[in-house]
């Protein structure tokens, strides 16, 4: 018997029905958030001009449905980054209502408040215009409402029309958090990298996907001399990600009055890290972390 299935016809039917219900809910949410695929907010189709299509201190650092403002040059195979819009307010407040997301932040603002989230989006939309190439970007991954296994299930097929099956097999964008390249508050001429992700995608590797893409952007597109990473001194996950990306520790000192660990990377360091397989960089970071912890224990 498959995990999660009940024996007997009734139990076997309830699970597909629940999955279909979940798929419908996911699709409705995506339509509310992005609009119907191929339609703009006024119901116009592609002829209306639908285009193709952030802090490590705040957490650890795909598709066909497109909307204006998508930043296709920042996409990775699993991740899409775009400018924040007012339709993202609910996703921002929901993410910040989770205490796990706000643990060990260097700069925590009450973004679980809809008014604060609205002001944040307003500020970001202005920031994109005044600081070309920089900002905090909405991160999404593309997920089909029903898996291939679900779509192959005869009971699911029997409960849906061909049109519905085609609709639920189409990937829809799901909010996963944000990534950023922003001016450092304490050093306005410098830029820091970062991200904030929902717990459901922690450990998925998306933090590395986004981090690597933004370092490419920083050095290969914007020509920055260096990029900083700032995190809480006790945030081991962020420190590990920064080391995996090739950052070196530059000491612990306050950031905007809060305790912080500072990391930095220049173009040469990134080019060397970029040429090294990610898995190898991750192992080296873990080994360094273990060595540092052992040394601290001895001392």
For the segment 187-243, what is each residue's pLDDT rounded down to a tens digit? 999 999 999 999 999 999 999 999 999 999 999 999 999 999 999 999 999 999 999
Angstrom distance (rounded) from CA 34 to CA 55:
24
Cα distance between residue 203 and residue 268, in whole Å: 28
Q: 231 or 18: whose pLDDT is higher?
A: 231
Q: Are strands 80-83 and 135-144 parallel, antiparallel or unpaired?
A: antiparallel
The set of long-range contacts for 216-221, using a CB threshold of 8 Å and a minimum separation of 24, is 216/274, 217/73, 217/74, 217/133, 217/181, 218/181, 218/191, 218/193, 219/267, 219/270, 219/271, 221/73, 221/133
Region 93-116 average pLDDT: 95
Q: Write the DSSP symbol of residue 48.
A: G
Mean pLDDT rounded to a whole number for the chain: 79
Q: Which residues lie across from 261 on neighbouring strands?
A: 231, 252
Roughly what angle, to the nearest 10 degrees, separates helices 267-274 and 206-216? 130
Phi-psi region of 114 (alpha: psi -120 to 50; beta: other; left: phi over 0): alpha
The whole-angstrom separation of Cα 99 and Cα 102 is 5
SS3 250: strand
Q: Six-digit token pair at 201?
A: 């995608």
Cα–Cα distance for residue pair 177/47, rounded to 1 Å: 31
Q: Report pLDDT for 21.
A: 55
List the 171-184 sheet strands across, edge first. 80-83, 135-144, 171-184, 187-197, 226-231, 261-266, 248-252
∠ CA 154-155-160, nearest 5°, is 100
Domains defined for the chain, CATH in brackets? 54-143+172-298 (3.40.630.30)
Cβ proximity of 85 and 69 under 8 Å: yes
Average pLDDT over residues 125-147: 93
Cβ contacts of residue 221 below 8 Å, gap of 6+? 73, 133
Residue 153: band (very low, low, confident or very high) from pLDDT cuts 50, 70, 90: confident
Q: How far is 173 from 37, CA to CA, in rounded Å?
A: 11
Q: What is the pLDDT of residues 51-61, one digit of tens each?
A: 222 344 333 33
Q: In the prediction, which pLDDT does 160 show?
A: 85
Biggest alpha carbon–alpha carbon distance for the chain = 68
Tell me the chain's radius of gyration from C-alpha atoms.
21
Q: Best-predicted range by mean pLDDT among 35-44, 161-170, 259-268?
A: 259-268
């Amino acid at each position: 018997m498959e995990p999660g299935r009940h024996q007997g016809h009734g139990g076997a039917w309830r699970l597909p029905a629940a999955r279909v219900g979940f798929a419908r809910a996911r699709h409705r949410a995506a339509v509310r958030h992005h609009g119907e695929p191929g339609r703009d907010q006024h119901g116009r189709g592609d002829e209306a001009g639908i285009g193709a299509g952030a802090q490590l201190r705040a957490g650890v650092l795909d598709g066909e449905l497109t909307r204006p403002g998508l930043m296709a040059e920042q996409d990775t195979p699993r991740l899409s980054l775009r400018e924040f819009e007012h339709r993202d307010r609910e996703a921002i407040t929901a993410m910040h209502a989770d205490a796990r997301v706000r643990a060990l932040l260097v700069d925590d603002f009450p973004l679980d408040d809809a008014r604060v989230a609205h002001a944040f989006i307003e500020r970001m939309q202005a920031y994109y215009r005044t600081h070309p190439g920089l900002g905090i970007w909405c991160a999404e991954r593309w997920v089909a409402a029903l898996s291939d296994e679900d779509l192959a299930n005869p009971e699911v097929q029997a409960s849906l029309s061909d049109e519905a099956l085609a609709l639920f097999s189409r990937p829809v964008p799901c909010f996963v958090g944000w990534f950023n390249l922003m001016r450092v508050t304490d050093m306005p001429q410098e830029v820091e990298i970062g991200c904030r992700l929902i717990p459901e995608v922690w450990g998925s590797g998306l933090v590395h996907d986004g981090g690597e893409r933004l370092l490419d952007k920083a050095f290969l597109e914007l020509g920055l001399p260096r990029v900083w990473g700032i995190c809480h001194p006790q945030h081991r996950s962020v420190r590990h990600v920064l080391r995996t990306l090739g950052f070196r520790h530059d000491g612990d000192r306050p950031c905007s009055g809060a305790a912080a660990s500072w990391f930095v990377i220049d173009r040469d360091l990134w080019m060397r890290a970029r040429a090294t397989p990610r898995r190898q960089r991750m192992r080296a970071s873990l080994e360094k972390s273990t060595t540092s912890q052992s040394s601290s224990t001895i001392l």
